[in-house]
Amino acid sequence: MDRNQILVIGGGAAGLVAAIAAARNGSEVKIIERMNRVGKKILATGNGRCNLTNVYANVDRYHGKNPWFIKDALEQFSVEQTIDFFEELGVACKEERDGKVYPYSDQASSVLDVLRYELEELGVEEICDAEVVRIQPTKKGFNVHTKNNEIIKGDKVILTAGGRAAPNLGSNGSGYKLALDLGHRMVETFPALVQLRLDSPHLKGINGVKFQGKAALGVRDKVLREEMGEILFTAYGISGPPIFQLSRKASEQLSEGNSPWIEVDIFPDAGDKEVFDLIRRRLDYRPNKPLDFSFVGLLNKRLIPAVIKEADIADMHKPCREVMPKEIKSIVNILKRWRFKITGTQSWTEAQVTAGGIDVEDVNPVTMESKLVPGFYLAGEILDIDGDCGGYNLQWAWSSGYVAGYYASINY
């Protein structure tokens, strides 16, 4: 009997593992990639270190209309199995803070290198610079049409074309149309794990200021989520790991027409009274020192004028002895609860992942096979599943890709 011929559309994380799983199970596999080489987005993950997975991966870390969709795939190709998979390929893994797992080499390129080596060993063909424009089901399988009028035939198709995030690395949203043309439905997409744009007159002055703090996202009088970590002010707004974690909910609120806000706490380990007493002591030490200069050594110098202005103190240079208790309280309130209006997010080019995508309602969660088109599988970011920052999205790519490749190879 002829070998099962599987076409994988999209050579990202999910596509490469899908190809390996299918080829290991005896299928003849071709990866069709729009870019000039596979795996470009893998090279950018984890700031070039590749945050492979997270030991705390579970349903609570994922989002979408139905985050429970991930359960079967994550059980079939778990975090432990993922680590074993990469260890066997040659990537020694290490666990770091918050359960993040990286290669010991601290190089994303090493992850891509071992994946491509395995593909070559298994005889998987990589067809690059080939943009797919149509997937045509036939009586014997599928015809995949490319932009340069080539037709590639296969028995099964696995669509792992990614979402809209980081289009410069391969994901430009073109995969959605391929699925929609086959009858699938779409959940509205928006950027996730992305920097936030803020409305504030101080952004230019505090651009580049970093601090370890707490950020809270809210709408009206309700706090929706809080995160701790390194926060960075930028010329357009705010960035850093806590902001990435909050950005999905912020994007969601913006897409619903709401006006979300973000509140930062520059002294998260101290209460209001502690911060008040700290400032009071500093003012008392040198009563003739100008107010703004009294904060040098406590706050980043670029933060000082912005904080004092936000506290509605007209003369930032007045001597410390003239500062009233109510003015100190105003400064404390800014340091502990500095609120900004969120006006939007950075573009898809800066986003790490796509929220929304192809509706999982029409996909079998056990096999990743379409419920509408037999022999058609979907995996990875193209589906309406996205995870928190910290390795969760790559784990979804590995798990869903492996499951899709495995079942496509045996269901023949």
Is the domain of 277 the same as that of 253? yes
Is the domain of 134 the same as that of 157? yes
Strand partners of residue 290? 319
User: For position 171, what pLDDT does the model report?
Assistant: 86
Residue-range definition of the domain harbouring residue 20: 5-191+354-410
* Residue-level pLDDT, tens digit, the chain, 412 residues: 478 999 999 999 999 999 999 999 999 999 999 999 999 999 999 889 999 999 999 999 999 999 999 999 999 999 999 999 999 999 999 999 999 999 999 999 999 999 999 999 999 999 999 999 999 999 999 999 999 999 999 999 999 999 999 999 888 999 999 999 999 999 999 999 999 999 999 999 999 999 999 999 999 999 999 999 999 999 999 999 999 999 999 999 999 999 999 999 999 999 999 999 999 999 999 999 999 999 999 999 999 999 999 999 999 999 999 999 999 999 999 999 999 999 999 999 999 999 999 999 999 999 999 999 999 999 999 999 999 999 999 999 999 999 999 999 996 5
| CA–CA distance, 346 with 340 (Å, rounded to integer) | 16
| CA–CA distance, 226 with 223 (Å, rounded to integer) | 8
| CA–CA distances in Å: residue 288 to residues 279, 285, 308 | 15, 9, 18
Is the domain of 281 the same as that of 238? yes
Of 297, 325, 345, the residue that ends a domain is 345
199-216 burial, b at 16+ Cβ within 10 Å, e below that, comes to ebebbebbeebebebbbb
Of 322, 345, 368, the residue that ends a domain is 345
Is the domain of 263 the same as that of 133? no
DSSP H helix total and E strand total for the chain: 13, 21
| CA–CA distance, 394 with 17 (Å, rounded to integer) | 11
Is the domain of 18 the same as that of 132? yes
| CA–CA distance, 14 with 406 (Å, rounded to integer) | 12
Is the domain of 385 the same as that of 359? yes
| CA–CA distance, 334 with 306 (Å, rounded to integer) | 10
User: For position 411, what pLDDT does the model report?
Assistant: 65
Is the domain of 283 the same as that of 387? no
User: For position 338, what pLDDT does the model report?
Assistant: 98
User: For position 3, what pLDDT does the model report?
Assistant: 82
**DSSP letter at 380?**
G
Of 290, 317, 345, the residue that ends a domain is 345
Q: Which residue has the tokens 């949203």?
A: 173
Is the domain of 154 the same as that of 199? no
**Is the distance from CB of 330 to CB of 311 less than 8 angstroms?**
yes
Is the domain of 23 the same as that of 146? yes
What CATH number corresponds to the domain at position 143? 3.50.50.60
Q: How many domains does the chain have?
A: 2
